[in-house]
Structure 1
Amino acid sequence: MKAAVIKKAGHIQIENVAAPVPGVGEIRVAVRLGGICGSDNSMFHGKLPAPFPLIPGHEAIGTVESMGEQVSGFKVGQRVTVHPNYFCGECDLCKQGLTNICRSKIRLGVDINGVFADFVVVPAKALYPVPDDLADEVAVLAEPLAVSLHGVKQGNIASTDNVLIFGAGVVGQLALQLALQHTANVTNCDLVASRLELARKMGAKKVISDPEELASCQGSFDVVFETSGAPSGLEQCINLAAPGGRIVLLGLPGQSYPVPTVSIVRKELTIKGSMIYTTEIPESLELLAKGVINTRALVSNVIKLEDLQATLEGFSAPERMKTLVKIS
């Protein structure tokens, strides 16, 4: 099969490699469309450790091509999407429902070969059927939507809450749309004008790009979702949160940094981390099928597998949102 292989940090090679064979309880998926995530970029640049050589990618839509023994509930040709974080189901965290932080979690496209190839082998329990009337280009965003959905749930938004989405990338734009299902009082902030214009079109009541204007909003927001992963993001969110406010961290900064703990105590803030998702992918597919989430506006471009290297080299371009990779 054809596959994109990261040979070493900063270098991808398109190769013909042996197609994986499904084992017991596994399905081989013919990949149709993938999505590039920030973690793919971090791995490509050597910021996220991975066992190179490796086929990256974890967001995908494909069809069932063949099945190993002891697989039921699927048929050849059926469209599916992937839950790319394999949890053990047996550890204490999994038994509490915290499968997203399983002690033995295996990450598709990070720990093992991923979806930027003609085929990928996936445990049947990690696959979800895609509704027949849901286009590949929409369904492929079910996984990042699940990330935002899990995070927004942590915020427990009330209809009277004043909400801030800190960052207007893909996760921020999806969180914005989800938050608007709970309250009309949603503000989005970012430094990139084009992203804020998109947030406005998505329904944000207010958008802010000017740091001084943002600073004037200190203490204004009941719920703040930090989606940027910027080094100073948490500190700014603490300052922007209202007394008794809630902050949910979805972004992953490259390193830890000091925070104003005095403000956390004096304002009695609640700060929660939100790591990927647990059971949200089926719910994401349902939301997409209902047409209540606009994903098409988030897709910047669709590339060929051969263009993956150049795309990751220019990944930080501010006008870029979601890039899809056409496999077949």
Structure 2
Amino acid sequence: MTTAIPEIPETYRALQIPSPSLPPRVTTLPTPPLVPGSVLVAPLITNLVSYISTIFPHNTRGYTYPTPLVPGAAAVGRVLASAPDLPGFKPGQLVFLDPVLRAHDGSGVKVLHALNGGNTETGRAMMEGPWRNGSFGEVVRVPGENVHLLNKGRLLGPKLGYGVEDLGYLASLMVAYGGLRDIDVRPGELVLVAPATGSFGGAAVHVALALGADVIAMGRNMAVLEELEGVAGRTYPDGQLRTVRMTGSVEGDMAALAAAAKEMGSARGEVDAYFDISPPNAGASPHIKAGVMSLRQYGRVSLMGGAAGDVGFPYFTIMRKGLTLKGTFMYTPEQIDEVIKLVETGKLKLGREKAGAECVGVYGLEEWEEAFRVAGEEGRMGRFALLAPNEKEALRTGKGAL
């Protein structure tokens, strides 16, 4: 497999948000110059979150970003050039682009590159700086610390045989891994994932299984849970996963979880760890309290969801059992490299057959409306849409892009 050395264009095409009141448009922009610590990358694929239409152009989610703006997300691309202080990056290398920008002023602030600056002055300033425009274009300038090398020969070659589109699932796996790793999930433990039928919940099930844990996957959509069970049955040892349907009550959920836990060998019907990825409208859902109440002594909770408003937790139970509640936003750079290693060694799977992860569409910049629609309608466990800022047809034919 040969790699043509990419040329740096003077200008590039991008999908731009001109103002809060105007729809996105495809426009031509000057290629940004390299600055110290930066890398120029040509994105091959960039992820589209299922709620992209609630951010652009109407922003009903209340995200903070300047305009005009080229949006961004996690992406996979080819290195075009790097600053002199980053000699390890070479033109043509296949890389993963981490969308989490991290402040270096001691504040601990993190923002999502060209997507959401959050509600701090530091975050808003970071959105206005040299990393303002994101991966929804043919070229993007990113900090070197956000660029992670991928083993192209292993991932796309005969060893694993993935397509470029399959790499679009990496971002979901990394989010899930960040939360599970932060609560130190270990082989042989019993982990509850709830809700497990969304993009990140489903990914968390696969990551926990790959780490050697037993898993109870809880959700409302039984058809999706059965699909998850089928995929896991083809990829992991028999009996490592149980699915439980949410009942709508704390008592009902606890009873269902206890029964599943006992089936999986827990004498007391308890779980060791609970990974929660609740959406914004689920703050009052009884499954959250049920999950916490189902933990063993010194159990751990990972909170990675976006539940809006305050959430009621069983204070006395947390105190009496010595439970640990750990909030995690995304992941660390080190955890990105750990996920990449798990995937490249074949321990963590990609693709429809072994991970139930299917790209439902790859769209060019001009097709952004269709891309946003499909991302919203099809985005759920293991299903994702991608934007291809460069050479969409090359991804399908294997010509030119790599």
Query: TM-score, length-normalised on structure 2?
Result: 0.70
Which whole-Å CA distance do the structure 2 matches of 1:62 and 1:237 have between them?
39
- Say if 2:294 is the partner of 1:240: yes
Query: Per-residue deviation at 1:152?
Result: 1.1
Where does residue 39 of structure 2 map in the other structure? 27
Write out aligned runs for 1:1-328 (5 A). Answer: 1-7=12-18, 12-25=23-36, 26-37=38-49, 40=52, 42-44=54-56, 45-47=59-61, 48-91=63-106, 102-103=108-109, 105-110=110-115, 111=127, 112-133=132-153, 134-135=155-156, 136-168=164-196, 169-200=198-229, 201-203=231-233, 205-211=241-247, 214-216=253-255, 217=257, 220-229=270-279, 230-231=282-283, 232=285, 234-278=288-332, 279-297=334-352, 298-304=357-363, 305-313=365-373, 315-317=375-377, 320=380, 321-328=383-390
Structure 1 residues 160, 65: closer, same or farther in 2, change over 3 A?
closer
**Count of residues in correspondence between the two structures:** 318
CA distance in 1, matches of 2:172, 2:295: 25
In the TM superposition, residue 6 of structure 1 has moved relative to its aligned partner by 3.2
Identify the range of structure 1 (307-316 vs 140-149) with the bigger mean alpha-carbon deviation: 307-316
Q: CA deviation at 1:205?
A: 1.6
* Paired residue type of 1:190: G
Instruction: Give unmatched runs, 5+ long, in structure 2.
Output: 1-11, 116-126, 157-163, 234-239, 259-268, 391-402
Overall identity of the aligned pairs, in %: 24
CA distance in 2, matches of 1:209, 1:222: 19
Q: Please list the CA deviations of residues 163-213 of structure 1 after superposition, one character each: whole Å capped at 9, or x if unmatched.
A: 111122232222212222444521101122343133212245211224166
Q: Any idea what SS the aligned residue of 1:271 has?
A: strand
Counterpart residue type for residue 64 of structure 1: V
| Cα 1:127–1:318 shift into 2, 3 Å | closer
Contact 1:24 1:70 (8 Å CA) reproduced: no
Post-superposition Cα deviations, 1:3-24, rounded to whole Å, max 9, x if no partner, equal 2223456964232131331322
Any unmatched runs of 5+ in structure 1? Answer: 94-101
For 2:226 and 2:20, the matched residues in 1 are separated by: 34
* TM-score for both structures, normalised by structure 1: 0.84
State the one-letter code of the partner of 2:17.
Answer: I
SS at match of 1:58: coil
Does the aligned pair in 1 maintain the 2:253–2:290 contact within 8 Å?
no
Superposition RMSD in Å: 2.8
User: Who wins on radius of gyration, i.e. which is larger?
Assistant: 2
Alpha-carbon contact 2:232-2:241 (below 8 Å) kept: no
Q: Distance in 1 between matches of 2:224 and 2:289?
A: 22
SS at match of 1:46: coil
Q: Decide whether aligned partners of structure 1 residues 12 and 80 sit closer, same or farther in structure 2, where only a CA change above 3 A counts.
A: farther
Provide the residue aligned with 2:120 in structure 1: none
Please state whether the residue corresponding to 2:272 is helix, strand or coil. strand
SS in 2 for 1:175: helix
